[in-house]
């Protein structure tokens, strides 16, 4: 997909953060946009920002954890725009707490959005992408899909799952000589509201010596890349058909740590988290 001009792009989680930035970036590349989010107000604001900037924009309130809703939205996109060329499965949530304290429902919740949302979006749009004659799937993992972190077992599990799913998908598509390709994206710290919107269990305070609010603020200090920059990198990755994308210098550091010290990095990160709690 050398050019995105006049292509139809579907983006989940478009009501804020990377999703909104992607909508703006894709509009600038000449795309027709189909946007979804569970947040109706955020989605409406994204649509307002796109006024006069996109060839066409449709919006739908969709919970990506609900398969039937995503399937219906994919059919709706094709009915509205005539085809689908690109889907970006971006919607995501965060969860923090010790394994001992988090409930199985907490894990079901985060996997439902972060992993199953990606599976639902991929499966729902894949036949339409094939039918278009030129398609691409972008699935957003995380730097936490490269390295594990303490207190983030649910988030890590979901993002590692996205990574494995997408890497296998890419190979499936190559093996079957499909006209569709796939890219897995690993953003580092992006300046979004995901930390403030996260579910934070009380066990975080006990483990770190910091309140949930203080922990979120500390975590946000590591957010060094803007959503606009992330969107630009992702769109270029589609155009160049990259298999894997690291966004931000922190993502490259964590990737190197996992390669060079796949066991040792865990002690390092745990030590850093512990030392911050002692400050």
Instruction: With respect to residue 168, please indicate whether it lies within any of the assigned structural domains.
Output: yes
Average the pLDDT over 109-128 and give the result. 98
CATH number where 124 lies: 3.40.50.720
Give strand ranges (E) for the chain: 8-11, 32-37, 57-61, 86-89, 95-96, 135-140, 180-187, 199-200, 244-247
Distances (CA, A) of 107 to 12, 119, 187: 21, 16, 22
Work out whether strand 57-61 and strand 32-37 pair parallel, antiparallel, or are unpaired. Answer: parallel
| 155 labelled catalytic | yes
The pLDDT, as a whole number, for residue 92 is: 96
> Which long-range contacts link 50-55 to residues 24+ away (Cβ below 8 Å)?
50/23, 50/24, 53/24, 53/27, 53/28, 54/23, 54/26, 54/27, 55/6, 55/27, 55/30, 55/31
Instruction: With respect to residue 260, please indicate whether it lies within any of the assigned structural domains.
Output: yes
Give the whole-angstrom CA distance, residue 255 versus residue 60: 35
**Stretch among 73-77, 157-161, 206-210 having the lowest mean pLDDT:** 206-210
pLDDT digits (tens, 9 = 90+) for 147-198: 999 999 999 999 999 999 999 999 999 999 999 999 999 999 887 766 566 7
Instruction: With respect to residue 146, please indicate whether it lies within any of the assigned structural domains.
Output: yes
Instruction: With respect to residue 1, please indicate whether it lies within any of the assigned structural domains.
Output: no
Instruction: With respect to residue 106, please indicate whether it lies within any of the assigned structural domains.
Output: yes
Instruction: With respect to residue 240, please indicate whether it lies within any of the assigned structural domains.
Output: yes
Q: Is the pLDDT of residue 131 over 80?
A: yes
For the chain, give the mean pLDDT. 92
The pLDDT, as a whole number, for residue 223 is: 65
Close Cβ partners of 234 (under 8 Å, ≥ 6 residues apart): 18, 22, 25, 88, 138, 183, 185, 245, 247
Instruction: With respect to residue 2, please indicate whether it lies within any of the assigned structural domains.
Output: no
Instruction: With respect to residue 46, please indicate whether it lies within any of the assigned structural domains.
Output: yes
Average the pLDDT over 197-203 and give the result. 77
The residues facing 245 across adjacent strands are 185
The pLDDT, as a whole number, for residue 233 is: 97
Give the whole-angstrom CA distance, residue 135 versus residue 265: 37
% of the chain residues with pLDDT over 70: 91
Q: Is the pLDDT of residue 205 over 90?
A: no
Average the pLDDT over 69-87 and give the result. 98
The b/e string for 104-129 (b: 16+ C-beta within 10 A; e otherwise) is eebbebbbbbbbbbbbbbbebbbebb
Close Cβ partners of 269 (under 8 Å, ≥ 6 residues apart): 147, 149, 150
Which of 107, 155, 160, 265 is catalytic? The answer is: 155
Average the pLDDT over 248-276 and give the result. 91
The pLDDT, as a whole number, for residue 265 is: 93
% of the chain residues with pLDDT over 90: 83
The pLDDT, as a whole number, for residue 213 is: 60
Higher-pLDDT residue of 234, 218:
234
For residue 65, give its domain range. 8-278
How many other CB atoms are there within 10 angstroms of residue 174's CB atom?
12
Give the whole-angstrom CA distance, residue 202 versus residue 43: 31
Higher-pLDDT residue of 233, 205:
233
Instruction: Give how many domains the chain has, as a whole number.
Output: 1
Average the pLDDT over 32-60 and give the result. 97
Q: What band does 210 get if pLDDT is binned at 50, 70 and 90?
A: low
Q: What band does 132 get if pLDDT is binned at 50, 70 and 90?
A: very high
The pLDDT, as a whole number, for residue 190 is: 80
Q: What band does 56 get if pLDDT is binned at 50, 70 and 90?
A: very high
């Amino acid at each position: 997909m050398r050019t995105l001009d006049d292509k139809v792009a579907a983006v989940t989680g478009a009501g804020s953060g990377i999703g909104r930035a992607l909508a703006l970036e894709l509009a600038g590349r000449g795309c027709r946009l189909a946007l979804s989010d569970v947040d109706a107000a955020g989605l409406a604001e994204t649509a307002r920002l796109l006024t006069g900037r996109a060839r066409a924009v449709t919006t739908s309130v969709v919970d990506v954890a609900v398969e039937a809703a995503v399937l219906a939205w994919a059919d709706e996109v094709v009915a509205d725009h005539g085809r689908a060329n690109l889907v970006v499965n971006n919607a995501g949530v965060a969860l923090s707490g010790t394994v001992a304290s988090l409930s199985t429902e907490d894990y079901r919740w985060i996997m439902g959005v972060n992993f199953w949302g990606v599976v639902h979006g991929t499966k729902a749009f894949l036949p339409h992408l094939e039918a278009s004659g030129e398609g691409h799937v972008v699935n957003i993992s995380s730097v936490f899909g490269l390295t594990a972190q303490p207190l983030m077992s649910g988030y890590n599990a979901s993002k590692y799952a996205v990574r494995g799913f997408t890497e296998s998908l890419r190979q499936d598509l190559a093996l079957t000589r499909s006209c569709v390709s796939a890219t897995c994206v690993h953003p580092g710290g992006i300046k979004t509201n995901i930390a403030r919107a996260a579910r934070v269990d009380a066990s975080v305070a006990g483990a770190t010596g910091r309140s949930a609010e203080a922990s979120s603020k500390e975590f946000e200090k590591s957010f060094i890349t803007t959503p606009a920059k992330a969107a630009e990198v992702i769109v270029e990755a589609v155009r160049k058909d990259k298999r894997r994308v690291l966004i931000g210098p922190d993502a490259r550091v964590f990737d190197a740590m996992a390669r060079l010290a796949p066991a040792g990095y865990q002690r390092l990160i745990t030590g850093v988290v512990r030392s911050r709690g002692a400050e």
